[in-house]
Structure 1
Amino acid sequence: MAPLENLIVLEFCQYMSGPSAGLRLADLGATVIKIERPGTGEGGRQLAIKNLFAGDNSILFHTINRNKLSYSANLKDPQDLKKIKKLIQKADVLIHNFRPGVMEKLGLGFQDTLALNPRLIYGEITGYGKEGKWKFKPGQDLLLQSISGLSWLSGNKNDPPVPFGLSIADYICGTHLVQGILSALIARAKTSQGMLVEVNLLSSLIDFQFEVITTHLNDGGRLPARASLGNAHAYLSAPYGVYATSDGHLAMAMEDLNYLTKTLDIPEISTLIQDGFANRDAIMAAIAGALKKQTTQHWLAIFEPADIWCAQVQNYHQFTAHPGYKAMQMEQEIVLPDGRKLTTTRCPIRIDGQIFNSPQPAPEVGGHNQKLDPTLL
């Protein structure tokens, strides 16, 4: 039995952050019902990566909305809104990621829904919270990465800003919402009272950078100094970084520089290694020069038996073909309505050894209206 079985979640969400939270709750057994506009559904149905679609919906939509149900309703129509309010009375959790004030205008704010269902856990995601000059700014991932300093932190010293190649703000914020909801459900089991759980994309990215922001705030306000070559962490000393080999790249983590210098036979930096941070650029340049002379596998064969922390920098071909990847059993197949199969990832959580697969595809718009008619539930 999945741990969240029989939990009913209403998802008033679109695109990435809110649906990612709904996905995790569905993976763990909750009945997640997407509330969508009739006809077109939520905007994420047309949000495609590399313009990949399966039927009328993007591959991305199928990936992040698998194992959910769909109830279509026009929230501005009094009759449809009445039905939604009946669903709310039967729900355990409601989540949304609209801009501040939208749900309140519809009569579906926290206090409104609490009057309908005093035990309701109400979770909301905003871009920048409900106060401040940014509160109505679009909560888009790249914009958040840029505002929060994250894009500026990546890359080498003289590089322009380098954003993540992923929607990192959306996914982390969705994870935070799930954590808050599960905590509220535990509290409700004791008090029988509903609760409001609030998260926002900007706070999630601030939390994501807790170690570097904390260092900055306690280092006289000085900005982090990125390494000139192979930067991987602006506040860590050599050899931490990524280095080219003769046929690829090698990542090196924290390591005793005396030990590494002897292993690589680069005694010329012996006077520099007393301060691996202040002399980081010169030390990393010497390490880079040594590593460039041989292949990645050559160095792995030396470093791994010596317990030097390192790893090959792999592309997806190399990674997904490796036995280590296959041992994780992280892939699953979703069977689409037309019979085609879509390969995607599964829930990363195991409980008592159980793997949680969810082969059901994303729902069609309003595909469960009849089944979920609140007058019949």
Structure 2
Amino acid sequence: MGEGDHSGIAAAEAPLTGVTVLDFSQFLAGPSCALRLADLGARVIKVERREGGDASRGLFLADMAFDQDSALFHAINRGKQSYAADLKDPGDLEAVRRLIARADVLIHNFRPGIMERLGLGWDEVSALNPRLIYAGVSGYGPEGPWRDRPGQDLLVQSLSGIAWLSGEGSGPPVPAGLSITDMMAGAQLCQGILALLVRRGISGKGGRVDVSLIETAIDLQFEHLSVHLNRDEAMPPRSAVSNGNVYLAAPYGIYQTADGWLALAMAPVDRLGSILGLDALARFAPASWFAERDAIKALIRDHLTARTTAEWLALLEPAGIWAAPVLDWPALRAEPAFAALHATQIVRSPNGAELTLTRCPIRIDGSILTSPRAAPRLGADRTEIDREFAA
């Protein structure tokens, strides 16, 4: 069975079938939330600017284009419909209000105050549609001195302390290579929407959910911050050797081998030394595994270059030591475990072109969720939607 071939849950059985979502957001956080709702069966109508639409349609376009737009745009907007409108035009605004009056969910990521100035703030739309779930994602929340800063993932990683958790010792801060605060904010927003849909099913009333990238970034660090907030300390020191976690003892980290890299998680240092044939680790008492972690890690680092990753794993895995090879994307895709997940899917454009994308990671009733339809062309569905919502 090839990538993307695995059959998924039937659309009629998806849990959000019958739910209509208006997605006013662009780039990543809001659209990724709407994408997950679409994966779960909701109908998502993407409301975009007439000129250019979602800015991510052209992002990375020079590197990878598919059916007029970027592969990135298709990755986070597959399966949606597109409704192009100028929200400053009275006629378009009235048409959009007709959609809102009958929708179940509205998602936006405008800066604080913009929706209110457009006449589409919570007070206005909740009066128009009391059952509506109104969902907003911002960079830094509705108030405070950072309120109007650009809400962008790298900036939020930098402001929130996340960038200081990676990297080694006194080296520079290292941001995550993924847009983690965007993606997690989208996931948090999705959770809030689903909770309000459940509440609406009980009370019949809609509600409002708001998340911000900065609050998401703070929450994402709860494991570390919960320790830091209850200690009298400055920023905890990063390990100077194979740093993996500021609060975990040796051997936690990634180490070079003769032919690649090996990740070691939590393990008793003395037992690890016995398995690896590294007798020098026996002198470190358990109480010193954190205090002397750099010295311990340096010994492990120098020892592991003598053999290949596979040779070390052949010793470590049977002994129950938590270890794994560090795979790049081609190596991951070559693994039978990757094929067994059916982690990708094929989407098709109106002209029949195909693009391989990741799929929804959620399984419902044991079945995976797939959506074979590519992202929509700008404004492609407006005529049909206007006719339907005018009825």
TM-score by length of 1: 0.98
2:167 is the alignment partner of 1:193: no
Amino acid in structure 2 at the alignment position of 1:283? I
- 5 Å matches for 1:72-221? 72-221=84-233
Counterpart for residue 255 of structure 1: 267
Residue 269 of structure 1: how far off its partner (Å)? 3.1
Residue 25 of structure 1: how far off its partner (Å)? 0.3
In structure 2, C-alpha distance between the alignment counterparts of 1:32 and 1:187, rounded to whole Å? 21
**Which of these residues, 362, 379, 384, is aligned with residue 349 of structure 1?**
362
2:247 is the alignment partner of 1:235: yes
Counterpart for residue 316 of structure 2: 303
Amino acid in structure 2 at the alignment position of 1:271? R
What count of residue pairs does the alignment treat as equivalent?
Answer: 377
Deviation readout 1:174-233 (Å, 9 max, x if unpaired): 000000000011111111111110100001111111011111111213311111111111
In structure 2, C-alpha distance between the alignment counterparts of 1:224 and 1:354, rounded to whole Å? 43
Counterpart for residue 276 of structure 2: 264
Amino acid in structure 1 at the alignment position of 2:346? E
Counterpart for residue 5 of structure 2: none
Residue 2 of structure 1: how far off its partner (Å)? 0.3
Residue 280 of structure 1: how far off its partner (Å)? 0.2
Distance 1:295 1:55, change over 3 A: same
Amino acid in structure 2 at the alignment position of 1:77? D
Amino acid in structure 2 at the alignment position of 1:340? A
2:49 is the alignment partner of 1:37: yes
In structure 2, C-alpha distance between the alignment counterparts of 1:216 and 1:332, rounded to whole Å? 42
2:55 is the alignment partner of 1:64: no
Residue 49 of structure 1: how far off its partner (Å)? 7.0
**Which of these residues, 323, 347, 358, is aligned with residue 334 of structure 1?**
347
Decide whether the 8 Å contact of 1:103 with 1:109 is kept in 2. yes
Deviation readout 1:29-71 (Å, 9 max, x if unpaired): 0000001111311212112277321132111001100000111
Amino acid in structure 1 at the alignment position of 2:327? Q
Amino acid in structure 2 at the alignment position of 1:287? I
In structure 2, C-alpha distance between the alignment counterparts of 1:268 and 1:85, rounded to whole Å? 72
Decide whether the 8 Å contact of 1:273 with 1:279 is kept in 2. no
Counterpart for residue 383 of structure 2: 370
Amino acid in structure 1 at the alignment position of 2:390? L
Q: Which structure's relative contact order is higher, taking Cα pairs within 8 Å and 6+ residues apart?
A: 2
In structure 2, C-alpha distance between the alignment counterparts of 1:170 and 1:160, rounded to whole Å? 23
Decide whether the 8 Å contact of 2:21 with 2:43 is kept in 1. yes
**SS at 1:338 equivalent:** coil
Distance 1:294 1:86, change over 3 A: same
Decide whether the 8 Å contact of 2:136 with 2:209 is kept in 1. yes
Decide whether the 8 Å contact of 2:26 with 2:55 is kept in 1. yes
Amino acid in structure 1 at the alignment position of 2:255? Y
TM-score by length of 2: 0.94
In structure 2, C-alpha distance between the alignment counterparts of 1:87 and 1:256, rounded to whole Å? 60
**SS at 2:383 equivalent:** coil
Amino acid in structure 2 at the alignment position of 1:376? A
Decide whether the 8 Å contact of 1:273 with 1:283 is kept in 2. no
Unaligned runs of 5+ in 1: none
**SS at 2:384 equivalent:** coil
Distance 1:49 1:222, change over 3 A: farther
Unaligned runs of 5+ in 2: 1-12
Counterpart for residue 67 of structure 2: 55
In structure 2, C-alpha distance between the alignment counterparts of 1:36 and 1:318, rounded to whole Å? 38
Decide whether the 8 Å contact of 2:108 with 2:136 is kept in 1. yes
Calculate the aligned-residue CA RMSD, in Å: 1.2
Deviation readout 1:311-335 (Å, 9 max, x if unpaired): 0001111111100111111110011
In structure 2, C-alpha distance between the alignment counterparts of 1:107 and 1:134, rounded to whole Å? 24
Amino acid in structure 2 at the alignment position of 1:361? A
In structure 2, C-alpha distance between the alignment counterparts of 1:146 and 1:290, rounded to whole Å? 35
**SS at 1:371 equivalent:** helix
Deviation readout 1:68-95 (Å, 9 max, x if unpaired): 0111111111111111111111100001
Decide whether the 8 Å contact of 2:65 with 2:71 is kept in 1. yes
Residue 340 of structure 1: how far off its partner (Å)? 1.7
In structure 1, C-alpha distance between the alignment counterparts of 2:41 and 2:389, rounded to whole Å? 24
- 5 Å matches for 1:274-293? 274=286, 275-293=288-306
